[in-house]
Structure 1
């Protein structure tokens, strides 16, 4: 369908005025390469059936070392700029911060403020990778567990009793995870996707109106391969990504991309159902 990027480094122009966005989503983009992540998320929204308006946000207290900070401030909003606004959904991206303690992250206090603000100013939240681990910690005090060997590749859900489509897969690239037992015993938290290697990678809290996805649904076919060759070039020890051919990733990508579309569309459908319910209540 159509995605309307209302701001950002890759802002697009409205060309078909007959199409109106049906949902508004705020994206806290904390990935190093803002342009790549903007395009990946926008592509996913373009592949679902619902037109969506997207606003990109960054933590003002974070020192962005991969681009021009002033340029970012010009093209993105901060919490102060949207504090009085309301959005249907919030997405928090991942970031290569797993090896840091949460309190050592330079924008941690601001993240806590954004998370608290989101409870009253956004209806549904979708947290990915580091964002998911940080939200699980703030919402449930669920600790992250650092791992020596990078969880890297495409991992399949091994749970038999789940709402996810059969063989649901998700790209992973991280140095930490959460414990299945602790997560499973946490009240108001459900594990929808788990793998013996990656640990739980898809969790939900209906009480929090939140999805916690310990992976990167937005990744495109060549993303994991590019990370692999980047680490090789830097001399960083790295294994080939699990369950993916870096030379011919298309077949694997086709499958996980369908799962990512399912994730985004299902999430947006929940938002629309809530909006339609509210409209119905107003008419009574």
Structure 2
């Protein structure tokens, strides 16, 4: 089944051109089927680009998925028009009575700030607590993952001497995990962050299982069976050009930045990068959606009643 998103969302044309099956709201109401309810709390400045990245991966599932776009209520986006936000997004306050089978919390370009210094941190704390009762499974990404593991378990983040930036080899630490079904023993994942979460801190917390890591970049994916949480510290969802967009943005702004590791052919920014992580991105999101489908209550109102 295709992904159901608003008929006029700008992402529709991009997804259709890539072969992702998209169902309009008008067509969806004709089907007598319970779609999976997936929410996307989009904290990224360029919300349209992130919508496309997430919808591309969620929409590859054979299941019908109803994707809801959610934003922080008290924060004004600088890189997305108010018209777009009003047309396609609801604030968390507007959806807080709803139950979600899955909920994605994205990264945000605020890594070097202390969590308590983030202007919307109090709302993030309420959202994290709300996921315990209103969400069957949560997928936290990059800053969203660091913030979640800090909120729930007090695991700190550490600022790096220089930006972790590039495409790095990662290990599959548990091939039997439902989330790594079909994964190679090792694979490549894009990395773009100024901070890290360390293994020693995670290993002190009962119930956290490390599923992916890298010799060079450390932790990548953690599973917490309680409340069905995933913490992903790197960017499997990135487009082929996401790292180059970040690189040239910084170059043009005069911000010191290293050429992303193992990304441009021969480390030449004039050459187009090759996407070597796309298949594993689809595997991870597909496995997550499938596990939600296998375990979520048929009655959405039962979500959060146990855990």
TM over 0.5: yes
Q: Give the superposed CA RMSD.
A: 2.4
Q: Structure 1 residues 179-188 or 12-21, which shifts more?
A: 12-21
Q: 2:134 aligned with 1:121, yes or no?
A: yes
Alignment counterpart, residue 256 of structure 1, candidates 266, 277, 301: 277
CA contact (8 A) 1:180 1:200 kept: yes
Q: For 1:160-199, list aligned pairs within 5 A.
A: 160-162=173-175, 163=177, 164=180, 165=183, 166-199=185-218
Alignment counterpart, residue 239 of structure 1, candidates 217, 241, 258: 258
C-alpha distance in structure 2 between counterparts of 1:240 and 1:222, whole Å: 13
Residue in 2 that maps onto 1:100: 113
C-alpha distance in structure 2 between counterparts of 1:66 and 1:278, whole Å: 38
Residue in 1 that maps onto 2:18: none
Query: TM-score, with normalisation over the residues of structure 1?
Result: 0.89
CA contact (8 A) 2:42 2:71 kept: yes
Residue in 2 that maps onto 1:78: 91
State the 1:278 CA deviation.
7.2
C-alpha distance in structure 2 between counterparts of 1:100 and 1:112, whole Å: 16
Which 5+ residue runs of structure 1 have no aligned equivalent? none
Q: 2:73 aligned with 1:90, yes or no?
A: no
C-alpha distance in structure 2 between counterparts of 1:198 and 1:173, whole Å: 10
C-alpha distance in structure 1 between counterparts of 2:187 and 2:62, whole Å: 20
Residues paired across the two proteins, number: 277
Residue in 2 that maps onto 1:50: 63
Which 5+ residue runs of structure 2 have no aligned equivalent? 13-23, 303-307
Residue in 2 that maps onto 1:268: 289
SS at match of 2:251: helix
State the 1:169 CA deviation.
2.8
